[in-house]
Amino acid sequence: MTIFYQENNQQVMIGEATLNLIFSHQDITLLSLIEQLHIMADDEQDDERLLGIWQARKWLQTFSKGWHSDSRPDWLEALTSQADRRVATVSLADPASRRPSR
């Protein structure tokens, strides 16, 4: 397994956890992502995916342990500072429900 593959697998697992949170109408935070990955790991049977979930959790947990902001990737710092300033609401309503009534 290459480093690129491992990093890509982590990103896929974080993306899957993010989508699970969105579809269940939950806030997407560092802690909720870590918890969602834990839930995913409990149900996972595939060793390769389980490893990706574990690596993703481990990577995210480094940010929850008080790393300095200059140690974070630029994209994570930008998202974190935006989340601190405002709460974003994602609506996944059925487009048909947005049609004007007659």
With vertex at residue 59, the alpha carbon angle to CA 41 and CA 37, rounded to the nearest 5 degrees, is 20
Alpha helix segments (H runs only) across the chain: 3-23, 30-43, 47-64, 74-85
Per-residue confidence (pLDDT) for residue 66, from 0 to 100: 62
The token duo for 14 is: 């974080």
Q: Block means of pLDDT (10 residues each) for the chain, length 102 residues?
A: 64 94 93 95 92 92 66 58 52 51 51
Predicted model pTM:
0.59
